[in-house]
Amino acid sequence: MIRNDSRARFELEQDGVTAFANFIPAPGVVTVTHTEVPCALREGGVGTTLVLGMLDDIRARGEKIRPLCSFVRHVIAQHPDYADLVA
């Protein structure tokens, strides 16, 4: 998982296909607006892996997340140890 600031998205590539989560940066807060996982990657938990990596990156930077994307909210609900990151 990488944070691609130039494209304002987190990316996870697997088998030449990229899943991503778009974000809007602001001081101390990352607003995640949309997550997209191509059909070829929908099995096997790639979307969850992307979101968990994104949350780890946000935590490491001392930021908070504003999850507008319903999938990101779902992953946080399933992993309550990340609830403290929600702005």
Long-range contacts of 7-15 (CB under 8 A, 24+ apart): 10/50, 10/53, 10/54, 10/57, 11/50, 12/46, 12/49, 12/50, 12/53, 14/41, 14/46, 15/40, 15/41
Average pLDDT in the 28-32 region? 98
Average pLDDT in the 27-36 region? 98
Residue 35 CA, chain-centre distance (Å), reads: 7
**pLDDT over 90 at 17, yes or no:** yes
Q: Which residue segments constitute the domains of the chain, with CATH numbers given? A: 2-85 (3.40.630.30)
Give the model's confidence band at 40: pLDDT under 50 very low, under 70 low, under 90 confident, else very high: confident
- Per this entry, what is the length of the chain? 87
Average pLDDT in the 2-16 region? 96
Give the model's confidence band at 61: pLDDT under 50 very low, under 70 low, under 90 confident, else very high: very high
**pLDDT over 90 at 30, yes or no:** yes
